[in-house]
Structure 1
Amino acid sequence: MDERERERAVLDRIGRGLVYTESEAAFQAGRRRADLIFEYNHTPPGQTERQRELRAAILGSCGADAVLLPPFHAAFGSNVHLGDGFFGNVNLTFVDDVEIRVGNGVMIAPSVTLTTTGHPVHPDRRVDFARFSEPITIEDRVWIGSNVVVLPGVRVGYGSVIGAGSVVTRDVPPMTVAAGVPCRVLREITEADLRTRVAPD
């Protein structure tokens, strides 16, 4: 098996959510954007055009009017796709060994981690930083509270709210409020929520 065939075989395993090692995946190192992320995190706040240029160079794609407050962190950066009107607060971490797709109008509070990657439970299977990766999808108009962790393979449905401090281990349906460790659906979002925290007439 030649080098290209080996790389295709590793990518196939990664795509199926199977375990692979750091050495096996080393050929992907060129897709990491560590130096650009460092520059982004140290760009003065007033240099908004430079920040925009760096976002375009770092991310797989970035929609119009996206805001990503520094500092942020990413394993690659190039596997992250942000939609239009995205707002990401400080200390957002993308463990993007595979794709993280974030929709339009999504708001993410401080110190959130979206991690596509986990490790085998048995220590003998964690040699050479062995891991598995599954993509994350955050649909349009989701709000994720502070200090949330979203784990591999999760999809958060349209319009949903994830409460602060939650660990999201499974899919969250659209238009629901979910919270906890592990995260559970608490209730649906309804028309009544349009009337909360509104000044009286």
Structure 2
Amino acid sequence: MSERKKMAAGAWYNCVDAELDALRLVAANAIFEHNTLAPSLRGDIAPKLKALLGMAGAGARIEAPFHCAYGFNIHLGEGVFLNAGCTILDTAPVRIGGGTMFGPNVQVYCPEHHKDPVHRRAGLEIARPVAIGKNVWIGGGAIILGGIEIGDNAIVGAGSVVTKNVPAGATVVGNPARPVR
């Protein structure tokens, strides 16, 4: 089984792989176009990046600069807004529901590197999906770890590190993020 297929299956895979390197290069070129085009030419999402994404609903917007690993695992619902400095390491599917907004410098990390240093040095990692519901607000500088689900209408405070699922309508803050009552 190829490393790409292992990654897609949620199995341990080697991220130091020629096929994955080539896919990251395609994404890097699309990201470069997005980040360097004049805003009047870029529109909501630059053409190469929009074509690369798994889905970009009507009115979805990504401010520059932006970074992602592959792009094809990112699915944006209608009216999603990703503010400047957003990074999505999309080794697994990242689904962001319609109307959701990210503040600046939000980071979504799907890959988890191996805990054993020998395997980690060899490039072994596993990809964990992220699902963010509709009408969610993620404050600036927040970090969402792989395997996390955030329910509709939730709020993640600025600077929070989300290590556990967030129920619909909940507000979480801090590191690690905890519910606010």
Task: Note whether the superposition's TM-score is higher than 0.5.
Answer: yes
The residue correspondences of 1:138-153 to structure 2 (distance < 5 A) are: 138-153=132-147
Identify unmatched segments of 5+ residues in structure 2: none
How far off is 1:130 after superposition? 1.4
Aligned counterpart in structure 1 of residue 124 of structure 2, from 117, 127, 130: 130
The verdict on how the C-alpha distance between 1:27 and 1:52 changes in structure 2, with shifts beyond 3 A counting, is closer
| SS across alignment from 2:14 | coil
What displacement does 1:26 show? 3.5
The equivalent residue for 1:18 is 11
Larger-Rg structure:
1
The equivalent residue for 2:110 is 116
SS at 1:126 equivalent = helix
Match of 1:85 among 74, 79, 84: 79
Q: Which digits, 9 at most, give the CA deviation of each residue in 1:112-150, with x for residues without a partner? A: 101101112221120222111110000100000011110
TM-score (norm 2): 0.90
User: Where does structure 1 lack aligned partners over 5 or more consecutive residues?
Assistant: 1-5, 188-201
TM-aligned CA deviation for residue 10 of structure 1: 6.2
Question: Aligned letter for 2:115?
Answer: V
- TM-score, length-scaled by structure 1: 0.82
Q: Residues 39-98 of structure 1, C-alpha deviation per residue, up to 9 Å, x if partnerless?
A: 110000111459452342231110001111001000111111101011110000010011
How far is the alpha carbon of 1:29 from its aligned partner? 4.0
Show the 5 A alignment for 1:1-201: 6-7=1-2, 11=5, 13-15=6-8, 17-23=10-16, 25-32=17-24, 33-49=27-43, 51-187=45-181
For the aligned residues, what is the CA RMSD?
1.9
Cα distance in structure 1, aligned partners of 2:44 and 2:15: 33
Identical-pair percentage: 34
Larger RCO, structure (CA 8 Å, separation 6 or more): 2
Cα distance 1:120–1:80, how it changes in 2: closer, same or farther (>3 A)? same
